[in-house]
Structure 1
Amino acid sequence: MNVFGLHTFAIAPVWDLDLIEPQMERLKELGIGLLEIPLLRPEEIDTKQTRAFAERQGIELIPSLGLPRALDVVERPDEALAFLEPAFGVCEAVGSTALGGVTYGTIGKTSGRAPTTAEIDGMCRFLGRAAKAAKAHGLKLGIEPCNRYETHLINRGIDAAKIIERVGAGNVFIHLDTYHMHIEEESFAAGFAAAAPFLGYVHVSEANRGVPGRGMLNWRACMKAIADIGYRGAITLESMNHVDVDIAGGLAVWRPVAEDPRDVIEVGLPFLRDAARHAGLTLG
């Protein structure tokens, strides 16, 4: 069985328990056992309240983030590490075991060229230091390959695997996202196979970030590829139904991703569970 997760952008633009908790009964009926916290501004998270909520609801939590645009992991790694430190503290305080997302760069920030040797070298040095800092908090650190329009640093599963091999830290994992894979990978089978040795987290997201099953993503091929590698980690729906202004620009989200936002949950979650079942996977 794979834990079935939901990125809370599907139901709220920020981590707001007054909005989220009233929806938990229905989400658990649909199989959700994990919530992903968008950790855009770590200082805004009430960690005691959040941990109590998770314990009360019996769910797992995993925060994720993309580094702010002002940071540069190559030229000014100390500043980026200083931003991550309180994020790691939040993860530990809410009872999570990992931090995922674009922890190696900024969503929406590209050079328009292939990464240089200096950029790769600097990013690897930074990730080595970040992994060590995460380990001090008892955490794993995820790196999420993103499409070429959002970053030029890590785009495919194989790119992430090579970075992890080079960094050599045992607590760094790959965080794949089917939205990005749909753009960058030759196939879901190839992408998941390349990432398999280090795969620790999966976002399932429709090709238009909307309602799963109502876009162009090949869900049969996607779920089969996940099943074929024997992946047993979390599978989390990410839909940009409600997006905080600090990240909307980087994601190029300027219009609703679904005509009826409720369909992301009421149609999308059952669709994903059914697609997974046909591939031999059980979500939730």
Structure 2
Amino acid sequence: MKLAFNLLVLGADIDAGHAPQLERLKALGYDAVEVPVFGGTVERYRALGRVLADIGLVAGAAAVATPQANPVSEDAAVRARARDHHRWIVDCTHAMGGEIIAGPLHSPVGVFTGFGPTAQEKQRCVEAMRALADYAQQAGVMVSAEAVNRFECYLMSTIHAASEIWRKVNHPNYGYMFDTFHANIEEKDPPATYERHHREINHFHVSENDRGIPGTGHVPFAAHFDALRRCGYDGWLTIESFSRALPELAGATRVWRDLFDDIDVLFAESAAFVRREWQAAGERVLGAGREVPA
């Protein structure tokens, strides 16, 4: 298991100037970070990758589709821009030394048609995700598409919808993410949903129901960690908490208030919580006679 933190809480432009925060994350026991890849040059991410390597943090990318580069648009020119945007994300991630690209790559957050996804939109999504996975495979990078709740996205808002796309993409470099915040809204029994689909899921976000510090709300994390341990999950556990640092994202995700008092408290309490719950879940599953991976 790699303990990771999504750096969107610090803003969209992460660079060498964030070294003090990155060093603090490493000192607290984090293994990896998800770096927002929203803009900038490939060389900028290559430079950031050198900083991360020096600190000892593994890199991944947090990335999104945009309205101007929407993979499921009716407009072929917009879909072509989406293909180019996906390739740029892969190039930046590879330059950074990143292992995985995670996020709502399938369609833009906060963009709606007023209807559910059409068969044509789903097929365009399948084609776009397969092309992205093909390109990412050449760079040695995995793809994890994020199911985002119905208030932020209409194309892939449930694990069932993500699984449907996954089966049709059918690519070894493509999987999808389980995010506890979104699952808390959309799934009848989130831990059971994870267990049912765990072979398809290649990334996991630890996010509280208010997107504040994990363990301070009502997401059933003990049950989630038990499910992860029973299924032998050994990937990234990425803490995702949002702030108002990035106005565009705050607007799309409806973050209108501060969700924690201090960034260092967020870093420290989140790490302690996840490690404590991971260990406790291992002990519970072992006590039930199940073998638990380290």
TM-score (norm 1): 0.91
SS at match of 1:48: helix
SS at match of 2:59: strand
In the other structure, the counterpart of 1:72 is 70
CA distance in 2, matches of 1:61, 1:117: 35
Residue identity opposite 1:240 in structure 2 = F
User: Quick check: 1:174–1:195 contact (8 Å CA) kept in 2?
Assistant: no
Cα distance, 1:80 vs. partner? 0.3
In the other structure, the counterpart of 1:200 is 202
User: Quick check: 1:4–1:34 contact (8 Å CA) kept in 2?
Assistant: yes
User: Quick check: 2:46–2:92 contact (8 Å CA) kept in 1?
Assistant: no
| 2:56 is the counterpart of 1:58 | yes
- Counterparts of 1:98-117 in structure 2, within 5 Å, are 98-117=100-119
Residue identity opposite 1:17 in structure 2 = A
SS at match of 2:132: helix
**Closer, same or farther: CA 87–194 of 1 in aligned 2, 3 Å:** same
User: Quick check: 1:71–1:80 contact (8 Å CA) kept in 2?
Assistant: yes
Residue identity opposite 2:145 in structure 1 = I
Q: Deviations over 1:80-117 (max 9, x none)?
A: 01112211111111111221111111111223332111
User: Quick check: 1:192–1:225 contact (8 Å CA) kept in 2?
Assistant: yes
Residue identity opposite 1:4 in structure 2 = L
Q: Deviations over 1:146-167 (max 9, x none)?
A: 1011111112223212211111
User: Quick check: 1:147–1:183 contact (8 Å CA) kept in 2?
Assistant: yes
Residue identity opposite 2:33 in structure 1 = L
CA distance in 2, matches of 1:205, 1:45: 31
Match of 2:20 among 11, 15, 22: 22
In the other structure, the counterpart of 1:134 is 136
Residue identity opposite 1:88 in structure 2 = V
Cα distance, 1:241 vs. partner? 2.9
SS at match of 2:194: helix
Q: Deviations over 1:219-254 (max 9, x none)?
A: 111211211211110101011135423322211122
In the other structure, the counterpart of 1:184 is 186
In the other structure, the counterpart of 1:174 is 176
In the other structure, the counterpart of 2:287 is none
CA distance in 2, matches of 1:225, 1:22: 35
- Counterparts of 1:39-50 in structure 2, within 5 Å, are 39-43=37-41, 46-50=44-48
In the other structure, the counterpart of 1:222 is 224
- Aligned-pair RMSD on alpha carbons? 2.1
User: Quick check: 1:73–1:80 contact (8 Å CA) kept in 2?
Assistant: yes
Residue identity opposite 1:167 in structure 2 = V
User: Quick check: 2:90–2:136 contact (8 Å CA) kept in 1?
Assistant: yes
In the other structure, the counterpart of 2:120 is 118
- Counterparts of 1:155-166 in structure 2, within 5 Å, are 155-166=157-168
Q: Deviations over 1:18-44 (max 9, x none)?
A: 12x113443223220101101111438
CA distance in 2, matches of 1:148, 1:175: 16
User: Quick check: 2:191–2:227 contact (8 Å CA) kept in 1?
Assistant: yes
Q: Deviations over 1:45-99 (max 9, x none)?
A: 7123212112211211001211112232122321101112211111111111221
Any gaps of 5 or more consecutive residues in structure 2?
284-291
In the other structure, the counterpart of 1:274 is 276
Percent of pairs with identical residues: 25
User: Quick check: 1:66–1:101 contact (8 Å CA) kept in 2?
Assistant: yes
Greater Cα offset, 217-226 or 201-210: 217-226
Greater Cα offset, 10-19 or 85-94: 10-19
User: Quick check: 1:158–1:194 contact (8 Å CA) kept in 2?
Assistant: no
CA distance in 2, matches of 1:44, 1:132: 19
Aligned residue pair count: 281
- Counterparts of 1:234-273 in structure 2, within 5 Å, are 234-241=236-243, 243-273=245-275
User: Quick check: 1:202–1:235 contact (8 Å CA) kept in 2?
Assistant: yes
User: Quick check: 1:42–1:86 contact (8 Å CA) kept in 2?
Assistant: no
Greater Cα offset, 202-211 or 151-160: 151-160
SS at match of 2:106: coil
Between the two structures, name the one with larger relative contact order (CA 8 Å, sep ≥ 6).
Answer: 1
CA distance in 1, matches of 2:170, 2:245: 34
Cα distance, 1:263 vs. partner? 2.5
In the other structure, the counterpart of 2:7 is 8
User: Quick check: 2:99–2:141 contact (8 Å CA) kept in 1?
Assistant: yes
Cα distance, 1:11 vs. partner? 4.0
